[in-house]
Structure 1
Amino acid sequence: MAQHATIVGKVEFRPGEGALMRIPQGPVEIATSRSEATLSWVDGEAHGATAMPLSDLNRYLAKGAITLARS
């Protein structure tokens, strides 16, 4: 089940072996598995998604760069 959150700081991901890219500030949906989190967002007419290790997600949450929506 996806959880709603907001990107409020600098959150980056690496698509494949490319350069780091920034997830735009604003709403995201986060779906987690045992080992990773998948973040998806809409930026204008473009849709984006990336997977990251749970450790990275937890680091962004601890830094306050991602805030979870209250249920």
Structure 2
Amino acid sequence: MTQTALITGKVEYREGDGPSIVIRKGPIEVQTTRADATLSWVDGETHGSAAIPLGDFKRFVAKGLIKIGDEIPPA
């Protein structure tokens, strides 16, 4: 299931054993499975995506760093 969401704070992911990478604040799409959440975004002409463990995603939501659907404030 794909959901619309908004990153409002510092959300990071890691590619393999590399350093943490911050996802810029703004609108994203989220698709979840039993194990992970895939976040997708557009930044100018660049498209990005990151898969993060579902537990990390839920922690970001609980802390208010990611707002989902109904939680997104009007523009």
Same fold (TM over 0.5): yes
Partner of residue 48, structure 1: 48
Partner of residue 20, structure 1: 20
- Secondary structure class of the residue paired with 1:31: strand
Q: CA RMSD in A?
A: 0.7
When normalised by structure 1's length, the TM-score is 0.94
CA distance in structure 1 between the aligned counterparts of 2:47 and 2:16, rounded to whole angstroms: 17
When normalised by structure 2's length, the TM-score is 0.89
Unaligned ranges ≥5, structure 1: none
Partner of residue 64, structure 2: 64
Unaligned ranges ≥5, structure 2: 71-75
**C-alpha deviation, 1:44, in angstroms:** 1.2
Partner of residue 73, structure 2: none
**C-alpha deviation, 1:18, in angstroms:** 1.1
